[in-house]
C-alpha cells in the first residue's frame, strides 16, 4: 500500500504517495473514509511542495527522518483502522467473505 520507494527525490516520493491516497479514496466505501484519504493526499502534496522549495535553513537528516517516521506511523495506524472499519462494515452487511 504505502511503501517507501527507492531512487526518487523526496518530492517525487511524496507525490506518488498522494496518488496512492487518491486511489484509495476512489475505492473507499464510506464517504468519511474517502474524505480522510483525500485529506491525507493533500498533506502529501504540501510536503512535496515544501520539499521542492529552497529553504534558508535545512533541517538535519535526523529531524527529517523523525518527521518522516512520525507521518508514516500515523498513516499506518490510519490504514489499519480503515481496514478494520471496512471489515466490520462488510461483516455487518453479511459480506465478510468479500474482504480484500
State how far the Cα of 80 lies from the Cα of 29, in Å rounded to an integer: 15
Domain boundaries, the chain: 10-98
At 10-61, the pLDDT tens digits run: 888 999 999 999 999 999 999 999 999 999 999 999 888 888 886 544 556 6
At 87-98, the pLDDT tens digits run: 666 667 765 555
Question: For the purposes of burial, counting CB atoms within 10 Å of the CB of 88, is it exposed (0-12), middle (13-18) or buried (19 or more)?
Answer: exposed
Amino acid at each position: 500500500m504505502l511503501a517507501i520507494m527507492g531512487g526518487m527525490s523526496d518530492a517525487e516520493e511524496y507525490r506518488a504517495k498522494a496518488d496512492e491516497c487518491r486511489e484509495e479514496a476512489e475505492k473507499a466505501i464510506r464517504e468519511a473514509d474517502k474524505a480522510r484519504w483525500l485529506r491525507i493526499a493533500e498533506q502529501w502534496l504540501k510536503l512535496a511542495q515544501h520539499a521542492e522549495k529552497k529553504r534558508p535553513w535545512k533541517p538535519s537528516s535526523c529531524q527529517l527522518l523523525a518527521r518522516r517516521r512520525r507521518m508514516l506511523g500515523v498513516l499506518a495506524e490510519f490504514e489499519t483502522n480503515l481496514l478494520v472499519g471496512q471489515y466490520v462494515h462488510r461483516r455487518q452487511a453479511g459480506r465478510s467473505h468479500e474482504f480484500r
